[in-house]
Structures are given as structure tokens and as C-alpha cells.
A and B are shown apart, each in its own frame.
Chain A
């Protein structure tokens, strides 16, 4: 027990005390969503010696569009076993936003611990088509633009403004995949130089294969605990000192895609710049997006960006953002970092962004 850090958001210290994630794979052929989640939920509880009866709230993030079946989030609760009945909620968003909802509830003081989980599979349908359905239904969705094509417009906007080059994108991908070699949960990891990566063909110019995320099936879970309860469950909890999320317009054509004002605002509200940042886990599915996010968050030299390899190492839909929070927390538990910034995104070209600042005492 060694006190609590100063809080930028909220008034009650809430910490990440446990994290587990599935082995990220291109395609899970055998297990259904419940069978994927069960071992992850068992691990996230088992790590800290608690059971489902020790959490006062359960919140999940997923989307039925990936599975093609209604109410898949209700069926997924079978992985936890919600009897006797308990407070539960779901967001049709990445699990990072489910974590936000749980954090808000923990602020009210009625409960001391909450389970957050997220799941999503990219293999059950055509992900590019599925994601185009989230676009504005009148002007954009009828064109079926896939996320890579939209991201390529964003990368080109950066090049046109002189903010970055294709070599910069390759440098991000090279560093991320090399870092991923140390991540046992990484799906794509290699040691290749930026020059070698630049020899690849374009997928959608100016993006080459290395700048794209893998297609991933996976899931993840986190336990949050408040106040002294956090110290009972974890030697060095990763306390959330600031958390905020902001969104930009639905219309991709109305945005300056080369910057991320929503990330900048969320970062300011979460207090990113108040103290030194040791580690940043940024949810940048496309390589160039890491550069936009680092700029928006004001991350300078000396910040270890995406030591896990980030979403370029594994990009399980709906949990890749939550995993950024888990990866950041792990580095605080281990003492590798004292202060970490975790980021999650949703929508085309970084439309919506959540920033979470974590600190250990």
C-alpha cells in the first residue's frame, strides 16, 4: 500500500489490476466466441485469485456486424456465467470504451471492481465490406470504400502536406514488427529494415503491405479495481489518472485527415502532457496513423512507442484498443514504466479516439 497518484479525470483512483488476451490468430476455425472468451475470462480472474462473484459490474465491447448475428453480445455472457443476475452493460465499440463505462461506474463508489472484456473476429465475413457499412449511408457507404483505401487517402494527405514520407511509414512498420518479436501474442513479427519494406508493392498507394494491419480473430479482458481494493489485488496497480474520448464528424471528406484534433483534445483532457511519458501504446491500425497520433499527443523523444508492436502486430477488431490499455498496464506492474499513455481508436481514419493515462505509485 503506497498511496494514490493525483487524478486528472474523476475523483476516485481506479486501477487496471489484471489483463488477459487470446492468442491472436488469422482465423479461429474451431472455437466459437464463447469458447474463445472463456479461457481469457478465467485467466483474467485467475491471475489475481478472484471469481465472477467478486466483480460488481461487467461491461463488454463487440459488434454484431462482425459475426453477422444479432445479440451476439448477450450470448457471449455465457463465457462469464451471470447467475445470480448482475449489473451488466455492452457498448457496440472497442472494449476501451467499455472500460470507460466501467470506470465511470466505479467513480460512483457503489462497487469496487469490474470486469471488462471485448471480442471480435475478422475472419467470418469480408472485413472491408463490413467496415464500409459504418460510413455515411448517403454519399459514402454506397461506394463501398474499404478501410485501406480510406487510410491511403489519409496517408496521401500527410505526404501532400510534407508531414511524412513513405519511408517514414516503413520505419514505423519496421520498428513495430521488430518490437513484436518480444510479444508472445503477436500475430505478425519480423526483423526487416525499412529499406526492405519499401521494396514491397503497393496495396493501395501510398500504402504498401507493411503499413497495413493483419486480419485477426481475438479477444481480451481486463479487471478494474478502485481504491484499496486495487492494492489487495495487485502489488502495483496501473491507476487511471486521466481518461477522455472525443469524436470527429462522420463525413470523412469534411476532415483534415492529416491531423487528429479529437486525439489532441482527448489527450489534453486526460492530462498526457502533465508529466513525463515512459511508454505509449497507440492503436494505429495503419503505420502512418502512429505518426498522426504521436503528434496529436505531443509525444516527443524518449517515449517508448508501441513496445508490443501495436495494432500492426495484431489487430483483433473490438479488442485492439482495450489491449493497448492492458499492454500499458503490464509495463507499470513490472516497473518498466511509471507513466503510460494508452490510446484506442474507432471509425474510419481515426474518427474517434480514446486516451487513457496510467500511472503506478
Chain B
């Protein structure tokens, strides 16, 4: 009778592939980046502008059908200085990740902040988008290279305290 070691461990690898459907509203936002535009949508009830919108106002549950083009400028409501290296990192550390609230928007999104020394970064800083050359625009936020300070006076805390 052959002596065999008991099985104490098995590897059963699993891989599932998916196709993502961005949706009607999000597709409008993504196509906006192909034209160098920030495209959001407004709730018909509470009038909040979401950029990007997922198609619905999460407060009212209503379709955000009204398309709104937003400007290149906004306020950095809060930020994080990244000092930790990680796999796949494409930007040299340290760098700044900021929450960008575009003027007229009611939803902030994360963006890279450049052209400012790390020790001068602060909440409420006014920023503007620096777009990649038009030939590099595609249906992705990567069409925006980064955001940089405009040099305007900082926004008052009251104007962005709901968006931290």
C-alpha cells in the first residue's frame, strides 16, 4: 500500500471577467472629456448638479435629465499628500490628491494637484483644470492632466463645508 501525504490545502483559482455599462448619464460625462468639457446633470427637484451623474439624484430618486456644462475652475475642498509608494504608481511621490468642487457643482471628485509646493497646499484653494493636448482627449478624466492654483484668494469655508 502506497503511503501518501494527506491533502491539507488546495488552490482553486477563480477569475471572472465583466463588461461595464457606464449608463446614459455617465456616458454624457465621459464623452464630454473627448471635447474638453466637464458635463454634469441637475436634479429637477433639489437643483443640485452632479458631476458626474449616475442618472439619478440620490436624494430625490429622480432622473437628472438636465445637462449642465461646468467651468474649468473650482475649489479644492480637502486634500491628501501621498507619501507612500504602491504598486502601479504612475506619479512621483510626494504628490497631492485633492477633492475638486467645480464652480456650480454639488459633488466633488478627486483630482491631481500640481504646480504648487507641498507645504503651501491648503483647504479652500482655488484651482483650475489643465487639460491634455486635444489630440489626447478621450472618454476619460485622464483627459485632464491635473489641477493647479489660479492665484485667486481662497474660498470661504462656508462655501464648501458641505463638500468635505
Contact = CB atoms under 8 A, between A and B. Distances in A.
Q: Which 6 A-B pairs have the closest CB atoms?
A: A81-B61, A32-B23, A68-B18, A35-B55, A78-B58, A83-B59
Contacts of B145: none
Q: Which of A32, A121, A138 has the most CB of B within 10 A?
A: A32
A32 B14 contact: no
Interface of A: 28-32, 34-35, 38, 41, 52, 65, 67-69, 75, 77-83, 121, 123-126, 129-130, 133, 137-138, 141-142
B54 interface: yes
Given A29-B21, A30-B23, A79-B61, A35 B56 contact: yes
Interface of B: 10, 12, 14, 16-27, 54-63
27 contacts: A28-B21, A32-B22, A32-B54, A32-B55, A34-B23, A34-B54, A35-B23, A35-B25, A35-B54, A35-B56, A41-B61, A68-B20, A75-B54, A77-B58, A78-B58, A78-B61, A81-B58, A81-B59, A81-B60, A82-B58, A121-B21, A124-B21, A125-B19, A126-B17, A129-B16, A133-B14, A138-B12
Given A126-B16, A133-B16, A32 B21 contact: yes
A37 B57 CA distance: 13
Contacts of B24: 30-32, 35
Q: Which of B16, B22, B26 has the most CB of A within 10 A?
A: B16
Contacts of A77: 58
Contact of A125 (B16, B57, B60): B16
Contacts of A137: 12
A79 B56 contact: yes
A38 B12 contact: no
A124 B56 contact: no
Nearest to A75: B54
Nearest to A32: B23
B58 A83 contact: yes
Nearest to A137: B12
Given A32-B55, A34-B23, A38-B55, 13 more contacts: A32-B21, A32-B54, A34-B55, A34-B56, A35-B25, A35-B63, A68-B16, A68-B18, A69-B18, A81-B59, A124-B18, A126-B17, A138-B12
Contact of B12 (A34, A129, A130, A142): A142
Contacts of A30: 21, 23-24, 27
A31 B58 contact: no
A274 to B, nearest CB: 40
B40 to A, nearest CB: 15
A277 to B, nearest CB: 37
B10 A38 contact: no
A125 B16 CA distance: 7
A125 B56 contact: no
A23 to B, nearest CB: 15
Contacts of A142: 10, 12
Q: Which of A31, A121, A130 has the most CB of B within 10 A?
A: A31
Contacts of B25: 35
A77 B26 CA distance: 17
A356 to B, nearest CB: 27
A80 B63 CA distance: 10
Nearest to B10: A138
Contacts of A125: 16-19
Contacts of B54: 32, 34-35, 75, 78
A137 B13 CA distance: 10
Nearest to B14: A133
Q: Which of B14, B19, B54, B56 has the most CB of A within 10 A?
A: B56
B55 A67 contact: no
Contacts of B19: 123-125
Contacts of A31: 21, 23-24, 55
Contacts of A80: 61
A130 B16 contact: yes
A68 B18 CA distance: 6
Given A81-B60, A81-B62, A138-B10, A124 B20 contact: yes
Contacts of A81: 56-62
Q: Which of A79, A82, A133 has the most CB of B within 10 A?
A: A79
B13 to A, nearest CB: 9
A38 B18 contact: no
Nearest to B23: A32
A265 to B, nearest CB: 33
A78 B53 CA distance: 11
A77 B58 CA distance: 7
A72 B158 CA distance: 33
Q: Which of B54, B58, B61, B62 has the most CB of A within 10 A?
A: B61
Contacts of A138: 10, 12
A35 B25 CA distance: 9
B107 to A, nearest CB: 12
